[in-house]
C-alpha cells in the first residue's frame, strides 16, 4: 500500500511538472534574411495599380529587409490601397505542432513615397491558411508621416483577432483562421496612399511571431498512462492478496 501511495504521489508531481512546462511552451518564427518564398500582393480601389517587391540587402533596420511596392500610372486618381506579403519561411501547422492559444508578434515598418503620407499605425499581421488570408487591424494611435522605421507589435492575439481579407483580391468576410488544425503561413500588410505616377514603398524588417501553444494535448497522454499504471498495480496487489487467502484456507 505504501509503494502504491508513493507511486501515486510521484506521478501526480510529474503531471504538475509536465503541465507547468507545457503551459509555457511556445514557438518563435522569424526570417531576418527573407530567405523563403515571398508572395507580394496588393489590392486597390483603383484597378490600374500594380504590386511587386523583393528582399533588399541594405534597406532594412539595419541591413537587409523586404520592400513591397504598389505603383500607379498616369491618369489615375489618389487612392488608399494595401500592399503586403506572405513569407513561406514563417510556417506553422497547429494540427501537427500543437494548437495555438495566442500569438504575440512584432515587426518594423517604414513607409516611403513622394506623395503625402498620413496613415495610421495599424498593426496588420497576416495569416494565410487554406488559400485564404486573414488580417488583424489594430490601431496603435497616431499617424505615420513616412521616411522612418517604426516598431508595431501586439500580444494576446486569438483566432477572433483575425478577419478574412485577401489582399491579393480585396475580398473580405467574417471568417476566422483555425488555431487547432491546418497549415498556415504568416506575413504583414500595410496601407498605402498613392496618386498618379506614384510608387509607394513599404519596407519591413525584424519580423517575429511567437505562438503560445495550448498545454492540454501534451498533458493528457501522460495522465492516461499514469492511470493505467496505477490500475495495473492495484490489480496485481488484489491478485496477490487473493492467492495468499487461498493458501491460508
Q: Taking Cα atoms as reference points, which of 90, 36, 35 lies closest to residue 209? A: 90
Under 8 Å between Cβ of 101 and 157? no
219 with 209, same domain? no
112 with 224, same domain? no
227 with 209, same domain? no
Report yes or no on 15 lying in a domain: yes
48 with 81, same domain? yes
- CA 45 from chain centre, in angstroms, equals 28
89 with 187, same domain? yes
Q: Taking Cα atoms as reference points, which of 93, 78, 117 lies closest to residue 186? A: 93
From residue 242, give the alpha-carbon distance in Å to each of 120, 138, 239. Answer: 78, 68, 5
Radius of gyration of the chain from its Cα atoms, rounded to whole angstroms: 27
Instruction: Say what the pTM is.
Output: 0.77
Mean pLDDT on 11-19 = 45
155 with 93, same domain? yes
Task: Annotate 8-52 with DSSP letters as a single string.
Answer: HHHHHHHHHHHHHHHHT-EEEEE-TT--S-EEEEEEESSTT-EEE
37 with 114, same domain? yes
Report yes or no on 246 lying in a domain: no
pLDDT at 17: 41
124 with 154, same domain? yes
131 with 225, same domain? no
Percent of the chain whose pLDDT exceeds 90: 48
Looking at per-residue confidence, does 248 or 156 come out higher? 156
8 with 67, same domain? no
- 220 pLDDT above the threshold of 80: no
Q: What is the mean pLDDT of the chain?
A: 81
Per-residue pLDDT tens for 76-131?
777 777 888 999 999 999 999 999 999 999 999 999 986 667 888 999 999 999 99
Under 8 Å between Cβ of 115 and 201? no
87 with 130, same domain? yes
Domain of 147: which CATH number?
Answer: 2.60.120
Report yes or no on 64 lying in a domain: yes
210 with 221, same domain? no
∠ CA 197-202-208, rounded to 5°: 170
pLDDT at 237: 64
* Residue 233: domain span: 1-25+215-241
- 68 pLDDT above the threshold of 70: yes
Number of domains in the chain: 2
- Residue 10, phi then psi, degrees to nearest 5: -65, -40
Amino acid at each position: 500500500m505504501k509503494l502504491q501511495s508513493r507511486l501515486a504521489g510521484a506521478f501526480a508531481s510529474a503531471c504538475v511538472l509536465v503541465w507547468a512546462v507545457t503551459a509555457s511552451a511556445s514557438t518563435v518564427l522569424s526570417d531576418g534574411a527573407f530567405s523563403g518564398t515571398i508572395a507580394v500582393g496588393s489590392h486597390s480601389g483603383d484597378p490600374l495599380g500594380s504590386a511587386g517587391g523583393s528582399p533588399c540587402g541594405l534597406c532594412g533596420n539595419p541591413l537587409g529587409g523586404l520592400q513591397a511596392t504598389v505603383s500607379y500610372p498616369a491618369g489615375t486618381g489618389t487612392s488608399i490601397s494595401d500592399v503586403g506579403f506572405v513569407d513561406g519561411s514563417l510556417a506553422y501547422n497547429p494540427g501537427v505542432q500543437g494548437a495555438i492559444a495566442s500569438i504575440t508578434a512584432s515587426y518594423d515598418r517604414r513607409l516611403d513615397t513622394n506623395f503625402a503620407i498620413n496613415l495610421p499605425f495599424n498593426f496588420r499581421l497576416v495569416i494565410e491558411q487554406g488559400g485564404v488570408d486573414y488580417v488583424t487591424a489594430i490601431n496603435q494611435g497616431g499617424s505615420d508621416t513616412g521616411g522612418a522605421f517604426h516598431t508595431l507589435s501586439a500580444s494576446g492575439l486569438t483566432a477572433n483577432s483575425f478577419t478574412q481579407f485577401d489582399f491579393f483580391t480585396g475580398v473580405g468576410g467574417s471568417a476566422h483562421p483555425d488555431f487547432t488544425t491546418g497549415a498556415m503561413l504568416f506575413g504583414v500588410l500595410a496601407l498605402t496612399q498613392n496618386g498618379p505616377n506614384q510608387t509607394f514603398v513599404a519596407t519591413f524588417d525584424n519580423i517575429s511571431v511567437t505562438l503560445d501553444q495550448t498545454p492540454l494535448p501534451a498533458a493528457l497522454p501522460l495522465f492516461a498512462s499514469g492511470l493505467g499504471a496505477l490500475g495495473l498495480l492495484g490489480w496485481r496487489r488484489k491478485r496477490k492478496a487473493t492467492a495468499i487467502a487461498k493458501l491460508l484456507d
